[in-house]
Amino acid sequence: MANHMTSIGFPVQSREDFEQIAGVAIEHGTLLEADQGQYIYFEAGNGIELWLQVNQENEIIGLNPHFAGKSRLEVGLTAIIDRETDSVLDGACHAWMEPDESLESGSCPFVFDMPNLGLFGQVEVPQRISIQLTAFSHEVNVYDNEEEYSQSQEGEVKFAAESFIPSGLFGNSNEPASTAIFTGRVVEATVIPNEYAGSSFSWCKVKTLGGEIDVVTDLELLDKDIAVGSIISGSFWLSAKFVDEP
């Protein structure tokens, strides 16, 4: 079954799989001190990252994947989100794409998780900052071109080939999720090997409403290859890292 780990080539389906991957991160990773504990940062090559969380009692409390891709997105950072279900080393931010001068508005609001937010201490908001943003596919459809995408939609009202819906902001406003539904044009695409796991995954850079986003996908989710010029549409989990120092 596809999940965030399989989206970057790690075949994690059970607790035993998780423990094995955590062991790899501990053996090969770099220890980074944070306010509420430590991260063990493991760079597996080709942009593949694991962020293992260790609390102040030296207990493993979580592990988050990330993919360090090519996207660069200037956003207006407006809030740091603290969810009851998150660990002390998890992190999430609310931001605006294409922010105006106030930084409190723009083309679209959204929420993203950060695997290493605890490294930065108290982050001031609002502020303008550049991020690298990766979308991990939950569900995705691939169309050869815009015409095929348009024909796939029924009804008079159709979504544009570049659209972004911050689905994580719907529902519980106190604990918004780092998810989105978007459609975009593929400007780069390839299949990337995960040398530690011996498997591969799909990567592409997508131009959508608000900017360009890296997208990683478990190959099992795809019914056709993603190529430059394709239109992709689906639902995604959003993970980002600061490019600038906040």
Cβ–Cβ < 8 Å for 217, 104: no
Please indicate, yes or no, if residue 121 is contained in any of the structural domains. no
Total domains in the chain come to 1
Please indicate, yes or no, if residue 31 is contained in any of the structural domains. yes
Please indicate, yes or no, if residue 215 is contained in any of the structural domains. no
Please indicate, yes or no, if residue 16 is contained in any of the structural domains. yes
Partners of 180 in the beta sheet? 236
Domain of residue 48 covers 6-67
Q: Is the dihedral of CA 100, 105, 109, 115 positive or negative?
A: positive
Cα separation, 104 vs 32, in Å, equals 32
Each residue of 25-77: pLDDT tens digit?
Answer: 999 999 999 989 999 999 999 999 999 999 999 999 999 999 999 999 999 99
Each residue of 160-203: pLDDT tens digit?
Answer: 999 999 999 997 667 899 999 999 999 999 999 999 999 999 99
Listed in order, strand segments (DSSP E) in the chain are 30-34, 37-45, 48-55, 60-67, 73-81, 92-97, 108-113, 127-143, 163-165, 179-194, 199-208, 211-217, 231-242
Please indicate, yes or no, if residue 167 is contained in any of the structural domains. no
Please indicate, yes or no, if residue 186 is contained in any of the structural domains. no
Q: Tell me the Cα Rg of the chain.
A: 18
Query: pLDDT-derived band of residue 156, with 50, 70 and 90 as boundaries?
Result: confident
Each residue of 125-138: pLDDT tens digit?
Answer: 999 999 999 999 99
Please indicate, yes or no, if residue 191 is contained in any of the structural domains. no
Please indicate, yes or no, if residue 212 is contained in any of the structural domains. no
Q: Specify the amino acid at residue 143.
A: Y
Smallest CA-to-CA distance from 140 within 73, 216, 70, 207 is with 216
